Structure 1
């Protein structure tokens, strides 16, 4: 069963989605499982806030676009009794990978948008 209702906003570096009939705890668990399957290291910052990291920041600085590094933050807020808003923010610009690195970040954000719309 898909919990996804609709995409509220997609702009440079931000995706905002609306979900129905799910709590923050359940969504945190689902996002953690999904992103760990995708190779991300998930850090639970606080209640409903996650940090997603993939790759090495140091390798990205040294090797540029040849090394993978993505960092995103996920925030969750209960909008009404049975609706949940999930925001995905880009935390790394990809500048250390030049234009190719910046394009990699945009591509990864679009991929995450697809993944999150299938939850």
Structure 2
């Protein structure tokens, strides 16, 4: 059973989704498991907030688009009627990889949008 209800907003660098019948703790666990399966290092910033990081920033700076580096933050906010709003923010611009790197970030954000809509 998917918990996903609808996409609230998708703009450059931000995805906002609505979920129903799940607690903040359960959603945090689901997001952590999903992103670790995708190769991300998940760090707990504070309650309901996660930092997702994949790859090496130093290598990205040195070698550009040849090295993968993604960084996103996830905020999970409870709402009314047992609903949650999950926001995924782009934290790295991809500029260190030039135009190719910026395109890689946009592609990864679109892929995350798909993954999060299947939770």
Q: Report the TM range for the smaller structure's normalisation.
A: over 0.9
Aligned length: 119
Counterparts of residues 91-106 of structure 1 (less than 5 Å): 91-106=91-106
Correspondence 1:13-52 to 2 at 5 A: 13-52=13-52
Aligned-partner SS, 1:115: helix
> What's 2:61 paired with?
61
Structure 2 Cα separation of the partners of residues 103 and 62 of structure 1: 18
Structure 1 residue 79: Cα displacement: 1.2
Structure 2 spans left out of the alignment, 5+ residues: none
Alpha-carbon shift at residue 108 of structure 1 (Å) = 0.1
Q: CA deviation at 1:81?
A: 3.5
**What do the CA deviations read for 1:3-34 (whole angstroms, capped 9, x no partner)?**
00000000000000000000000000000000
**Cα distance in 2 between the residues matched to 1:35 and 1:99:** 25
* Runs of 4+ off more than 6 Å: none
Using the size of structure 1 for normalisation, the TM-score is 0.99
- Aligned alpha-carbon RMSD (Å): 0.4
Do structure 1's residue 79 and structure 2's residue 79 form an aligned pair? yes
Where does the alignment leave 5 or more consecutive residues of structure 1 unmatched?
none
Per-residue deviation, residues 56-95 of structure 1 (Å, max 9, x unmatched): 0000000000000000000010111310000000000000
